[in-house]
Structure 1
Amino acid sequence: MEISQLLKDKQAVIFELDNVLFPEKDYLLQVYYLFAQFIEYTEQKEAQAILDFMRVELEQSGSEGLFEKTAGRFEIDHKYQHNFDLLHQNARLPLKLLLFQAMLNFLQELVVNRIKIFIVTAGNPEQQLNKIKQTEWNGLEQYLTVYFADELKQQKAEIFQNILTSNHLSAEEALVIGANNFDAQQSKIVNLPYIRSQEIFN
């Protein structure tokens, strides 16, 4: 999609985080790597086998219930669920998270054109903040304004409306970029133009 056409008359762009600015799996797989290393150290179980299992499960079935599946497969004590959950919130990643190249280019274009950048992200606020802190923003972090929906205890539509109101913008002057139907529905509630992130990659 032509970026200049996309940004015509726009004053602000609102992004989700996961699978929009970077692949969520890049974060999760590093968390799983750290967890597998921890289990190898504490329980003498092979880290690589655990990580391989978790990777396949993530790709085939998603992250839901992954600890239970892994614990059952490798006879891991359920007391380690706490460690698993904690790593999601505060893991120090071995590698920085990298933005999709198309998104990096797009964000740089927004800065050049003095278009405001907002991130409105759902999910555990500590975990989402941890992702943001460990992303390679290439100097763009100073231009970001971030809202954590779960921390504010608001639907995204409410936050979108607050962004419009506080920045004196009409719905036509902003754009939401998301990755799922929920983001599309929340945008529609306040009549915000919406596109899926994949449209920028094509």
Structure 2
Amino acid sequence: MDAYQYVKDKQVVIFELDDVLFPEKDYLLQVYYLFAQFIEYTEQKNAQPIIAFMQGEYEHNGTSEIFEKTAKQFGIDEKYKYNFDLLHLNARLPLKLLLYKNMLEFMQELVINRKQIFIVTAGNPEQQLNKIRQTEWNGLEQYLTVYFTEELNQSKSEIFQNILNSNNLSPNHALVVGANKFDEQQSRLINLPYIVSLEIYK
């Protein structure tokens, strides 16, 4: 099915950021790389084993206590937790974040057909903004309106409703594209149509 069929009768499409528009791991693995390089520079510890350990730990167990596990494995001082956390917020990435190919094409088609595009993203606003600034948008950035849930101190469903209200739209004129059950639940609270981002890739 042509992905655009989902939005033929919609005026607004709302996206999450991580694992919807690009893989979150593309950001995190570059943060880990930069941290390992920092430790090599400051502590003269070889960066390559640290990078390999962090990547393996992330792939098997996610982000939980990844600094603590890495610090224990390589004898890294706890004081560097500050630098590790700071890199998550303001890292200057070696490589730009790239949109999923089919998502890029989908969003370009939305622009051509004059659909409004919103990003409503959870997580630390500074970190999420850092990701946005280092994403290759291919000119789409001028068509995006972004809301940070933590900055606004509102739930996603409240922000979704505000978007509808400010554009004088009913729920059936919008679509939410997410990647997890939470996004789906927040959409359902106000009867917003919802699809999993993977549907776009068919």
Q: TM tier, shorter chain? A: over 0.9
Matches for 1:149-164 after TM superposition, within 5 Å: 149-164=149-164
The corresponding residue for 1:77 is 77
Identity %: 72
Q: Which moved more, 1:139-148 or 1:61-70?
A: 61-70
The code of the aligned residue for 2:75 comes to E
Local SS of the residue matching 2:118: strand
Distance 2:148 2:62 in 1: 23
The corresponding residue for 1:57 is 57
Local SS of the residue matching 1:147: strand
The code of the aligned residue for 1:67 comes to F
The code of the aligned residue for 2:25 comes to K
Local SS of the residue matching 1:9: coil
The corresponding residue for 2:15 is 15
Local SS of the residue matching 2:60: helix
Aligned residues: 202
Deviation at 1:37, TM superposition (A): 0.2
| 1:145 and 2:141 aligned | no
Which stretches of structure 1, 4 residues or longer, exceed 3 Å deviation after superposition? none
Deviation at 1:4, TM superposition (A): 3.2
The corresponding residue for 1:41 is 41
Q: With structure 2 as the length reference, what TM-score do the two structures score? A: 0.99
Q: With structure 1 as the length reference, what TM-score do the two structures score? A: 0.99
Local SS of the residue matching 2:146: strand
The corresponding residue for 1:91 is 91
**Structure 1 unaligned residues grouped into runs of 5+:** none
| 1:120 and 2:120 aligned | yes
The corresponding residue for 1:68 is 68
Distance 2:192 2:52 in 1: 41
